[in-house]
Structures are given as structure tokens and as C-alpha cells.
């Protein structure tokens, strides 16, 4: 059986030997501290403390000036955000209105388009014609008005817009007003984009 008691195995003395260092203590000496070196720093401390307080006050003042300046800026930005929001709402309302089916149908009719109620398909794989193609007959003009939309009251059709009045891009992009666009000539089959 073993026990777990700690045992001191060393036989060396545990206490340090004091006799060797007693000679060094005798050589310490005491100096008189000059009083003038204590008085001068006191003024510096006082000044710097005052300066710090001053700096804090100034900083706080500047900060609060900055914050209230920011408040005006926020207020102005908020106002302009509201205004811009209103403009965005207004123009998107206009956009949705003119993209309604009534508006599109009325404009297409005004441009002379008619819908064909006989569907037919050309199958690209073998060129087969599916369905029985017939030419479209002109639908009843003004049929779009059968499904009213009071939001479109007073909105002019594309054909009723004053020439060149709606933005310069239309005026400059289109050929001279009044001249019919040149007929497309087909030389080598239908024009198609070049793909690589």
C-alpha cells in the first residue's frame, strides 16, 4: 500500500542566507529634493485642465451645431424625398394607364393594325403549315371603347400627338415628318442577323 503524503526530501537549508547582502544596504544615501520642481508643474496642470474643459465645451458646441445643421438637412431631404416620391407615383400611374389593354388596342387600331382571329403556324422543322391561314379582316373600329377605362379620358392617341412635340428623341430619330419610310426591298431572302 502506498500513501500520498508529501515528503520533504531535500536536506538543503530552506532559508536564504542574509549575511551576504547586508553590506549593500549600508551604501544607500538620501538627497534633499528641491521644492521648486513641484510648484511649476501645478500651473501647467491647471492650464491643461482648463484647456481640456474648454475643448470639451467647444467640441460639444460644434457637435450640437453639426447635429442641428443635420436636422435641417434631413428635413430638407425628407421634403425632397416626398416630392420625388410623388413625382414617381405620378409618372408610374401614367405609365400603367397607357399600358392598359384599352390604350394599346386603341393605339394599334389608330395605326391601322387589325387582329387575325384565324391562328396558323409554320413549323420550322419541315416547313409544314399548321392550321388554315386566312387574311385578317378589319375589326370594328373603336371596339376598345366597349370596355371603358375612365382613366384614359383625355389621353391622346399616338396618332393625335402633335408632330415633334413629344420630346426631341422622336423628332430627331424619325425621318423628316411627312415622308413615307422607304419600302423594304428583299434581295436575298428575308434579312436576318448574322450569328456566329
**Contacts to another protein by CB under 8 A:** 67-68, 70-72, 74-75, 78, 86-87, 89-90, 93, 96-97, 99-102, 105, 117-121, 130-132, 134, 140, 143-144, 146-152
Q: State CA 3 to chain mean position distance.
A: 77
CB of 76 to another protein, least distance (A): 9
Cell 502506498 found at = 2
Which residue, 48 or 64, has its beta carbon nearer to another protein?
64
Which residue, 96 or 114, has its beta carbon nearer to another protein?
96
Phi-psi region of 113 (alpha: psi -120 to 50; beta: other; left: phi over 0): beta
CB of 85 to another protein, least distance (A): 9
Give the C-alpha separation, 186 to 5, whole Å: 113
- Are 87 and 103 in contact by the 8 Å Cβ rule? The answer is no
Show the cell assigned to 159.
396618332
CB of 89 to another protein, least distance (A): 6
Which residue, 128 or 182, has its beta carbon nearer to another protein?
128
Which residue, 79 or 161, has its beta carbon nearer to another protein?
79
Report the candidate in 191, 187, 190, 166 with the shortest Cα–Cα distance to residue 177: 166
Which residue, 131 or 167, has its beta carbon nearer to another protein?
131
Q: State CA 99 to chain mean position distance.
A: 27
CB of 93 to another protein, least distance (A): 6
Sequence-distant (≥ 6) Cβ neighbours of residue 114 within 8 angstroms: 136, 137, 138, 139
CB of 107 to another protein, least distance (A): 14
CB of 37 to another protein, least distance (A): 43
Which residue, 120 or 174, has its beta carbon nearer to another protein?
120
> CA separation (Å) from 170 to 83, 160, 161, 194?
28, 14, 11, 28
Amino acid at each position: 500500500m502506498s500513501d500520498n503524503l508529501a515528503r520533504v526530501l531535500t536536506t538543503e537549508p530552506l532559508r536564504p542566507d542574509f549575511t551576504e547582502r547586508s553590506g549593500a544596504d549600508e551604501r544607500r544615501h538620501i538627497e534633499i529634493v528641491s521644492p521648486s520642481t513641484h510648484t511649476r508643474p501645478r500651473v501647467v496642470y491647471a492650464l491643461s485642465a482648463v484647456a481640456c474643459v474648454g475643448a470639451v465645451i467647444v467640441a460639444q458646441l460644434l457637435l450640437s451645431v453639426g447635429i442641428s445643421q443635420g436636422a435641417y438637412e434631413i428635413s430638407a431631404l425628407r421634403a425632397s424625398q416626398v416630392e420625388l416620391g410623388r413625382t414617381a407615383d405620378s409618372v408610374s400611374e401614367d405609365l400603367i394607364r397607357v399600358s392598359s389593354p384599352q390604350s394599346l388596342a386603341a393605339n394599334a387600331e389608330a395605326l391601322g393594325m387589325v387582329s387575325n382571329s384565324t391562328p396558323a403556324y409554320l413549323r420550322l422543322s419541315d416547313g409544314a403549315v399548321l392550321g388554315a391561314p386566312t387574311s385578317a379582316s378589319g375589326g370594328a373600329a373603336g371596339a376598345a371603347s366597349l370596355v371603358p377605362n375612365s382613366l384614359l379620358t383625355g389621353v391622346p392617341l399616338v396618332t393625335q400627338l402633335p408632330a415633334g412635340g413629344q420630346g426631341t428623341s422622336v423628332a430627331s430619330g424619325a425621318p423628316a415628318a411627312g415622308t413615307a419610310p422607304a419600302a423594304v426591298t428583299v434581295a436575298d431572302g428575308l434579312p436576318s442577323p448574322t450569328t456566329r
